[in-house]
Amino acid sequence: MRVAVSVVNALTPGESRGRPWPAPRDLAATATEVLRAMYPTHPEVTEAEAGEYAEIAARLRAVFQAVADDDIDTAATQINSLLDESRARPMLQRHDGEPWHLHFHGTGGTLAGDWAASCATGLAIVLGGEFSDRLGVCTAPHCDRVYVDVSRNGTRRFCSTACQNRVKTAAFRARGKVT
Ligand SMILES: [Zn+2]
């Protein structure tokens, strides 16, 4: 899920922490960078693959947005389409000296396709469980980055402490004006 959030936030345009967040100028380089931050041995993403990643990221963002809008029906429908199209298929694998662990692969044989299958499955597990409302979009002004709330009480509202602090400071200033 952490990977899904990072890739969605890096590749989908909008606003981030009070500033405009344009679509990456070099999509392939940005995709490679964000994936390598989590998987250091990730191969360089080609331009064609980067386009695929960006398209999937946009569709994943829509799921976060639907949940933030309390529209779980739409989120579930969108996830089902992604599961269907990516033909997500669970399989135990063992590689690079790691113990057996669960992978979700698509049948397309592309990295982005496998990624879509694995993100769609991860989101499906969240949406189908008791933590379905834990997907969110930052509620700070001029920010629309997404997050997964893993806090114990599930009260997260911001993408980052940067946004949380921005809102706190603004509220403090507003109070100062009133008194
Ligand atoms: Zn934010």
**Given CA atoms 35, 37, 40, 43 in this order, what sign does their dihedral have?**
positive
Task: Give the tens place of pLDDT for each residue, 36-77.
Answer: 998 898 899 999 999 999 999 999 999 999 999 999 999 999
Centre of ligand 1 from the C-alpha of residue 30, in Å: 20
* pLDDT, mean of residues 22-40: 94
* pLDDT, mean of residues 141-145: 97
pLDDT band for position 26 (cuts 50, 70, 90): very high
Centre of ligand 1 from the C-alpha of residue 86, in Å: 30
* pLDDT, mean of residues 81-110: 86
Residue 179 pLDDT > 60: no
Q: For 109, phi and psi rounded to 5 degrees? A: 80, 10
**What pLDDT score does 111 carry?**
85
* pLDDT, mean of residues 117-138: 92
Residue 8 pLDDT > 60: yes
**Given CA atoms 77, 79, 83, 88 in this order, what sign does their dihedral have?**
negative
Residue 178 pLDDT > 60: no
Q: For 63, phi and psi rounded to 5 degrees? A: -70, -45
**Given CA atoms 30, 34, 40, 43 in this order, what sign does their dihedral have?**
negative
Task: Give the tens place of pLDDT for each residue, 144-156.
Answer: 999 999 988 899 9
Task: Give the tens place of pLDDT for each residue, 155-173.
Answer: 999 999 999 999 999 888 8
Residue 110 pLDDT > 80: yes
User: pTM for the complete prediction?
Assistant: 0.90
- Contact call for residues 44 and 35 (beta carbons, < 8 A): no
Centre of ligand 1 from the C-alpha of residue 129, in Å: 25
According to DSSP, residue 88 is labeled -
Centre of ligand 1 from the C-alpha of residue 65, in Å: 14
For the chain, give the mean pLDDT.
Answer: 92
Centre of ligand 1 from the C-alpha of residue 157, in Å: 9
